[in-house]
Amino acid sequence: MEKLKSLLHEYPKSTNIFMGYGTAGFRARADILPWIMIRIGILATLRSKVKRACVGVMITASHNPECDNGVKLIDPHGEMLDQTWEVYANTLCTLDDDINIIWDYVETLMIQLNIQPNDEAIIGIAYDIRQSSPLLASIVKRAAQALSTTIMDFELMTTPQLHYAIRCYNDDDLNGKYTEADYFDKLCTAFQNLIFMTSSNKSFESLAIDAANGIGAIKLTHVRRILANFIRIDIYNDGTKGLLNDKCGADYVKIYQKAPDGLPLKNYSKCCSIDGDADRLIYFFIDENNQFRILDGDRFSVLFALFLSLKLQEAKLFDDVKIGVVQTAYANGRSTDYIINTMKVSVACVPTGVKHLHHKALDYDIGIYFEANGHGTVLFSDDLKSKVKAASEDPKRTEKERLAANQIRTFINLINETVGDAIADILATEVILFLLNLNLEKWLNFYDDLPQRQLKVAVKDRTMIQTIDAERRCIAPAHLQDRIDELVSKYPSGRAFVRPSSTEDIVRVYAEAITQIEADKLAIEIQKVVEELIN
Ligand code: 16G
Ligand code: ZN
C-alpha cells in the first residue's frame, strides 16, 4: 500500500482527462500517460491472478508519432484483453489518486472475481523504441511489484512478439517458455522448409523493407541474417536517420497512397512497409507505366486464401475443412466479390478493430483475417492441425497429397496465430509468391480495386452516430441512413458508410464507386449530410 501510495504521489493524475480503453488500449501523448501506468500495473496483476496465468503489457503507440505512446494488455493465449475487462480498466482510470479509493475498488473486484490475496501473478512487459517507453514500463513494473507480482522484463519487442511470448509461457505445447532465438528460428525454419519442398530452381528477387524507423528494423536484422542464403532483404528507415513513423511506415503508405521517404523505390521490384510496432504490413511497387501500386490487407487475404485453398484441394482435404475470410466494411468491394465469387471462399464482415476480426476467425478451421490497413493473420483450428498432420503421414495417400498436407503443416509454423505480425506476414507472403510463381504485378492483377475515398468529419459529439450490421448501417441519428442510401443509389456500384472513430474525436466517411471522381463526390455529399445532421 505504501509503495502504491508513493507512486500515486510521484505520478499524479492529470486533471480533467478521461481516457477510454479502446481498440488500441490507452493511447495519448506520452507525457500525460504515467499515471495510467499505475492503474495498468494493478489491472494486469488482477488479470493474471484471475486467469492463473501470465499476461502481457505492451507499451506502444503503433503508427502514431514519436511524441505519443500507449499501453494494452495481452491475455494468456496471446489475444487482446477480454472486453469485460475494458470496463474495469476504464473505471480504474476514472478514480482519483487516493490510495483508499483505489484500494476499495481493487478489493471490490477481488471479491467479485473471487481472487485470493495470495494468488500468484506474473506479467511480461515489453515496449517499442519510443524514448518515453522505458519510463512508462518502469511505472507499470513498480505498481505491479508493489502487489508482489513477478515481472518478466522483455524490454524491446514488436507487439506481435509479445503476444506470441505470452502464449508460449501459458502453453505447454509451446515449451512453456519464450526466447527470441526460438521465435525467429520457428519462422525462418518454416520458411526454409517450404522452399526445400519445392522443386523450383527460381531465386528470390530482393525485398526492400521500410521499417518506419521502429522496433521492426532491429528485429528484422535477425531474419535478414538467418535467411541470407535464400533472399536478400534490405532494410530502410531503420532508425539511424529519420523519425519514427515520420513520412514512412505502413499507415503512411496506405493513407497517402504514396511511397515512404528514404527508400530507393526504383531499384526494387518488391517493396513493403511495416508500422512502428511491426503489426501492419503493406506491399508496393512501381509498375511499367511508372505508377505507384499498392497491395494492402485485402490483397493478403486473397493471396493467403488462394494458397491455402489450393493446397487443401491438392491434399484432398478441401471438402472437410471450413475456410473463410474475415474483413471489415473498409475492405474494397471488389476483393469481397473476388473471394466469394471467383475463389468460392466465404467472407464474414465484422466491426473495425483486431479483436472483432480475430474472434470471428475462430469460427473457421482456417480463418484468414486482415484489415485493409494491413493488420492480419491466419488462425488454424486444432481439428485442422490434426487432419493435416494425419494426411501428411498417411501412406495410403499419393505423394502429391502428402506434400500439399505437409506444406500446409509447415505454413502453420510460419504464421503468428496470436495477432497480425508483419515479420511473419512478410515471410508468408514471400513464400506464397515463390511457390505460386507470382510477382507483385500478377498478384495485383487478380482483380481491380474500386476507387475509394475516405474523409473525416469533425463533430461535436461522435457518439451520436450509432451503427449496426458491422458498421455498414446507421441507426442514429434519425434519417442519416436514408439520406446515405439515397445518395448511394445514384452511383452504379456505389457503396458508402459512416462510423465514429474509436481512436480520434471524429466521424469517418467511406465511399467507393466506379470512378475516382464519383467516389470523391459521393464521400463529399455524405460528409455534408453528416455535418448537417450532427452539428
Ligand atoms: C486501432 C485498431 C485497428 C483499427 C483502428 C481503427 C487494434 C489493435 N487496432 O488502431 O485495428 O483499424 O483502431 O481506428 O485493434 P478508427 O476507429 O480511428 O478508425
Ligand atoms: Zn501497429
One-letter amino acid identity for 464?
M
Identify the residue whose C-alpha is closest to ligand 1 atom 11.
Answer: 353
Contact 71, 25 (CB under 8 A): yes
Residue stretches of the annotated binding site for Mg(2+): 62, 275, 277, 279
Mean pLDDT of the chain: 96
Q: How far is the CA of 277 from the centre of ligand 2 (A)?
A: 5
Q: How confident is the model at residue 490 (pLDDT cuts 50, 70, 90)?
A: very high
User: Does ligand 1 come within 6 angstroms of the Cβ of 502?
Assistant: yes
Q: Tens digit of pLDDT for each residue in 44-89?
A: 999 999 999 999 999 999 999 999 999 999 999 999 999 999 999 9
* pLDDT tens by residue, 135-166: 999 999 999 999 999 999 999 999 999 999 99
Nearest to 407 by CA among 382, 379, 447, 435: 435
Edge-to-edge strands, sheet with 323-327: 346-349, 323-327, 366-370, 376-380
Atom of ligand 1 nearest to the CA of 80: 8
Instruction: Clarify whether 62 is annotated catalytic.
Output: yes
Q: Is the pLDDT of residue 505 over 90?
A: no
Give the up-direction half-sphere exposure of residue 164: CA atoms within 13 A in the CB hemisphere: 26
Neighbours of 213 (CB within 10 A): 26
- Sorting pLDDT into bands at 50, 70 and 90, what band is 130? very high
Please, what CATH class does the domain formed by 452-534 belong to? alpha beta
3-class secondary structure, 120: coil
Please determine, for residue 364, whether its predicted confidence score (pLDDT) is greater than 90: yes
Distance 505 CA to ligand 1 centre (A): 13
What is the band of 319 on the pLDDT scale with cuts at 50, 70, 90?
very high
Q: In whole angstroms, what is the distance from residue 55 CA to residue 44 CA?
A: 7
The pLDDT, as a whole number, for residue 15 is 67
All three cell numbers of 165: 511470448
- The helix/strand/coil state of 94 is helix
- pLDDT-based confidence at 117, cuts 50/70/90? confident
Average pLDDT over residues 184-204: 92
Calculate mean pLDDT across residues 434-456. Answer: 96
Q: Report, as an integer, the average pLDDT of 241-263.
A: 96
Closest residue by Cα to atom 5, ligand 1, is 353
Pick 2-174's CATH classification: 3.40.120.10, 1.10.1740.10, 3.20.20.80, 3.90.420.10: 3.40.120.10
What is the mean pLDDT of the segment spanning 450-473? 94
Q: Average pLDDT of 290-307?
A: 97
pLDDT in tens, 509-522: 999 999 999 999 99
CB 344, CB 381: distance < 8 Å: no
Q: Taking 70 as the threshold, does the pLDDT of residue 414 lie above it? A: yes
Nearest atom, ligand 1, residue 419 CA: 8
Q: What are the domain boundaries of the chain? A: 2-174, 452-534
Please enumerate, as own/partner, the contacts of 11-16 that have beta carbons within 8 Å and a separation of 24 or more. Answer: 11/35, 11/37, 11/38, 11/139, 12/97, 13/96, 13/97
CA of 490 to the centre of ligand 1 (A): 31
Set 6, 14, 48, 62: catalytic member:
62
CA of 159 to the centre of ligand 2 (A): 7
Residue 48 CB less than 6 A away from ligand 1: no
Q: C-alpha cell of 437? A: 510463381
Atom of ligand 1 nearest to the CA of 23: 15
C-beta of 454 in contact with ligand 1 (< 6 A): no
- Binding-site members are 62, 275, 277, 279, 371-373, 499-503, 508
Q: How is the beta sheet containing 507-512 ordered, strand by strand? A: 452-457, 507-512, 495-500
**How sure is the predictor about 508, in pLDDT bands with cuts at 50, 70 and 90?**
very high
